[in-house]
Amino acid sequence: MIFLRHQGIAFKLSLWVLSGVTLVIAAILTLNYHSTRRLMVEKIEDNALNLAQSTANRINTLLKAAEKIPAGVALTIAELEPDDTELKSLLANLLEQNPELFGIAAAFAPKPDSAANNLKLYSRYFIRSYDRIKESPINYDYRSHDWYQIPKVLDQPIWSEPYFGESGGIVMASYSHPFYREKEGSKKFAGIVCVDLSLNWLRNVVSSLKIGDTGYAFLITRNGTFVTHPNLDLIMNETIFSIAEARNNPEIRKIGRHMIAGEKGFTAFTGLTNNQKYWMVYTPLPANGWSLGVLFPQNELMADIHDLTKIMLGLGLGGFFLIMLVILLISGKITKPLRALAESADEIATGDLEGAIPILKSEDEVGRLALSFAGMQQSLKEYIKNLTETTAVKERIESELNIARDIQMGILPKIFPAFPYLPEFDLYATIKPAREVGGDLYDFFMIDDQHLCFTVGDVSGKGVPAALFMAITQTLIKTQVKAQPKRSSTATLHQVNNDLARDNPSMMFVTLFIGIFNIVTGELEYCNGGHNPPYRLSPHKTDPVQVLPTTDGIALGVMEDFTFTAKRITLTPGEALFVFTDGVTEAMNKRDELFTEERLEKILAPLTKQPVQEITDQLIQEIEIFADGAPQADDITMLVLRYSGKEAK
């Protein structure tokens, strides 16, 4: 993503369009491949089922034809009872006329009589040997062999499991058909007619199914034994289940169960002697219950689809690069005027507002953008001109505000200790304006040798008007007190209130606390004009922080002729008075929470014995920690007066 940030629009446009084209081409190729593959698989399945079924029908027809021969012989023997010469002629002629047969036999049941144990078994067996027919005597007691015993017991014709012939090397299967004779009104078992089929012809039929280079077919019996398979080692030696067990492949075992159950199906299959992928179709042989499996190699049958996909992929890549070339040419032509505008914008950004903006004749978005750049250039010229003038005015105002701040701070006493020659008391005050100039005030001065006058006030509003109103208030108080030193604090506030309330069109007012303190006796006369009640700090008492009783006065400048009242307290040595403005208790943090009187009292309690300046410094620090970077909203002013008493001398 960082790399793209530094590239041009033409590159980004080409990249995004080509990405979209790539996704579309990939989606088309994927959809085409899967759709074609699905159709191909469906076609292969249909053809495979047809091929397997036709082959199975062909084999089944041959087996059915072979079944008719022993059935006819059995009927002939049962009905006509031929003599030995006629029987041998019948069997030899049938074997000669049916080349698919390897041998034919008729085996009779011994006739029961008292001397049965001495009877010889009677049978005739003819085989095909080197293109001629010859009789081959059965020199064993055939009555215990499967080809004779099973159809006798089941009372029906059957196909035997494949076996190697006694001559060796030839895999054969026998079809045995019982015959009967009427005796004393009932049907009695008389013997078996059996034909032997060499499975070489069956192997040739199955082997003729060649699908591609690696496709093949195989045949298994009702027990899963391989009768035919390209791998000759499997024939008569392995079953499909033994292969599944050896390879630990439950899928082969499952398919084997379906096959011996006489089911039909089409499924994916892994080669029995290799790991090649096939599609396999299987179908039963109804004549003997065997099952035919035909394997179709997936890679060979899907080769055309893969080749087609490669061709389409090549065409897609060629189209991709062709589209990329076209997009680069088109996007380059479209973005050429944008690059010219970008160069002009870079010149303007360096401060060269006289640089030429390219003129475009087009009325499209780029043309309108060029006109906007020209308008912006002119607007920037006017803006910078106005900004220069505004900045000059602002600097002049800031300079004047700084001067006003210096003047305002100069009005306030700021030399501490204020009266080092008077050890009876100690006093410290501080102010922290919220703006360049503020509306808070404090003042203190000696009226005579024994009386100290001090004030703390807070003017409504902020800025220059509040600062002027503060200066006027402070001047009026000092003038009134010094003009009549014996005047009470209430009389002073009464006169100052009338002076401020008269001709006050801006309706400004000031809350004010004034105290006249006898530095010898510790007596304090005070009057509160709507100001925050101060705290009496008594470090030796149980409750070290006490709110000073109010005098119920109103702010100065609100109404004329208001009667103020005063109260008196006497400070004991060590006690102090803490006077403040609401900028302390109404300081706010980033969560809009107030500092509050409760928090102020809690912080003041352990500070009552500390020096007066340390009390104010600690409070300023606590307020800054509480605010946690939130801007100061109001002026903060504090004054601490501690009485030491006569002992200080």
pLDDT score for 376 = 75
Helix H or strand E encompassing 197 = strand 186-198
Residue 425: pLDDT band (50, 70, 90) is: very high
Residue 649: pLDDT band (50, 70, 90) is: very low
The amino acid at 620: I
Q: Residue 294 pLDDT more than 80?
A: yes
- 463-477, 540-554, 594-608: which has the minimum mean pLDDT? 463-477
- 11-15, 169-173, 238-242: which has the minimum mean pLDDT? 11-15
DSSP state of 356: P
Helix H or strand E encompassing 41 = helix 9-80
CA 457 and chain centroid, separation? 62
pLDDT score for 243 = 85
Residue 287, token pair as written in the block? 């004549």
Q: Tell me: the pLDDT tens digits for 577-635?
A: 999 999 999 999 999 999 999 999 999 999 999 999 999 999 999 999 999 989 988 89
Torsion angle of C-alpha atoms 17, 22, 28, 34, degrees rounded to 10: -150
Q: What's the half-sphere exposure (Cβ side, CA atoms, 13 Å) at 221?
A: 19
The closest of 449, 526, 458 to 485, measured between CA atoms, is 449
DSSP state of 287: T
- Tell which wins on pLDDT, 178 or 311: 178
Q: Residue 486 pLDDT more than 50?
A: yes
pLDDT score for 222 = 87
- Mean pLDDT, all residues of the chain: 83
The arithmetic mean of pLDDT across residues 8-14, rounded, is 65
Helix H or strand E encompassing 389 = helix 365-411
Helix H or strand E encompassing 246 = helix 240-247
Cis bond leading into 465, ω under 30°? no
Q: Are 178 and 192 in contact (CB under 8 A)?
A: yes
pLDDT score for 268 = 85
Measured distance CA(549)–CA(41) in Å, rounded: 102
Q: Tell me: the pLDDT tens digits for 54-64?
A: 888 888 888 88
Portion of the chain with pLDDT greater than 90, in percent: 31
- 133-147, 156-170, 400-414, 457-471: which has the minimum mean pLDDT? 400-414
- Tell which wins on pLDDT, 218 or 12: 218
CA 124 and chain centroid, separation? 84
Residue 648: pLDDT band (50, 70, 90) is: very low
Residue 238: pLDDT band (50, 70, 90) is: confident
Q: Tell me: the pLDDT tens digits for 371-387?
A: 776 677 677 777 777 87
Other CB atoms within a 10 A radius of the CB of residue 553 amount to 24
DSSP state of 545: E
Portion of the chain with pLDDT greater than 70, in percent: 84
Q: Looking at mean pLDDT, say which of 170-184, 398-412, 414-428 comes out highest.
A: 414-428
Measured distance CA(477)–CA(495) in Å, rounded: 9
- 84-93, 403-412, 517-526: which has the minimum mean pLDDT? 403-412
Length, in residues, of the chain: 649
Helix (H, G, I), strand (E, B) or coil at 512: strand
pLDDT score for 330 = 77
For Cα atoms 290, 294, 298, give the angle at the middle one, nearest 5 degrees: 155
Measured distance CA(259)–CA(272) in Å, rounded: 15
The arithmetic mean of pLDDT across residues 205-234, rounded, is 82
